[in-house]
Amino acid sequence: MITREEYNKALDIVEAYQKQLFIGGVTNSLRDEKTTIANWEGLKDCNKRLRNNIGNITEYKDGKLQEIKYVEDISRFNFNKTEGLGKKSWREFVYLRGY
């Protein structure tokens, strides 16, 4: 027979394990470094149109038009503003990026 004390100890272990999983999942999903467009793994697998135009994606920052340097910073809005990139290229980009 399991005592109340044994049950509580087991419950503490399960709760600690769940916290460990949650914290590990969060820290592993948040990247400390961003991937530059030039170093992006998907660049070699994408079609020529996407490869040629992905470096031309721009955004307004501090009132100035600037090129986006990191893959993680590319939004659908900025992507679709770029000449030569449309819905088909966006789908390919999202597939290769993974989200």
Whether the model pTM is above 0.85: no
Domain ranges of the chain: 1-30, 41-97
Q: Is the dihedral of CA 57, 89, 99, 46 positive or negative?
A: negative
Cβ partners under 8 Å of residue 72, min gap 6: 31, 34, 35
pLDDT one-digit tens code per residue, 2-49: 899 998 888 888 887 777 766 654 444 455 688 899 999 999 999 999
> Measuring CA to CA, which residue among 57, 53, 83, 84 is closest to residue 69?
57
